[in-house]
Amino acid sequence: MALKIKQLSFMALFAIGFSTGFAQLGFSHEIGVIAGPVAFQSDFGERYNLETNAGNTGIGVGIIHYINFSYRADCSCYTTDTYFNDHFKLRSEISWNTTKLNHFGQWVAADKTSVYADKLRAHSGEATNFDVGMQLEYFPFSIRAFSVQVQSFAPFVSLGAHLTKYYPKVWTTYGDQEITNLENYYDPWYHPYGGTDNEFINVNRGSTWSVVGSIGTRYKLSILSDLMLDLRWQYYFRDNIDGLNHQLESNKANDYLVWLNFGYIYYLD
């Protein structure tokens, strides 16, 4: 836990330092909080399976900050009327998400009574991630017009990159319950295609980059506050975010998540 707090503190200092740099340019600022359910897509369960998608669901929370290019805080006036200033915002974020992971789908159905099925049922995990990063948000309609129209909507799309610190955990209640004993897990992972032993369990902490895209909308609650609904897709550039990286043909994609978050945003100046 101490290590997690240290990593989060470093991420916070990085984001604050970057935002302070932009503050010197006179742009206005917004700050907010987000939270919502996370569907984590990994090597647990079956991909594109509704039961897996619903079962492997966790929670995410975060703090967000925006640079609003359409308004200057140093003079309380609008900036030069350019397309970029009136349609883009820069979003920085510190967030945390966690998801309990289990195997769902046909291979662990109630009518499956093999040792393979028992090992899958006994295997569970947890994916916990800290993120810091930035996204450029595009608003197809005027930001200036939205800022003065209470009870209006402002849809947006965004794209950016995050640095992710991941902390996977793995458990098994099969056999001697030792997570380093690979024979406690699904046999085809242990001898993929009849080949050599494969170290498919990895609970080491690490870091990786991820690409983040989202679509959403803001709702103007008051002149100085917005509500936000945001559907995010985040793709990691590694496949062991969940602590599992088997080499079967079904494991063709890196881990990713889908996060539906709800937010509240306040205009600082």
Per-residue pLDDT tens, the chain, 269 aa: give them. Answer: 444 455 555 555 555 555 555 555 567 889 999 999 999 988 887 776 767 777 899 999 999 999 988 876 655 556 667 899 899 999 999 999 999 999 888 888 888 889 999 999 999 999 999 999 999 999 999 999 999 899 999 999 999 999 999 999 999 999 999 988 888 998 888 765 444 445 788 888 999 999 999 999 999 999 999 999 999 999 999 988 998 888 777 666 789 999 999 999 999 87
- Give the pLDDT score at 1: 46
E strand intervals along the chain: 27-41, 57-72, 77-78, 88-102, 123-138, 153-166, 169-172, 206-222, 225-236, 256-267
- Give the pLDDT score at 190: 73
- Give the pLDDT score at 76: 57
- Give the pLDDT score at 194: 44
Burial of 102 (0-12, 13-18, 19+ CB in 10 A): middle
What pTM value is reported for the model?
A: 0.84
- Give the pLDDT score at 210: 95
- Give the pLDDT score at 89: 94
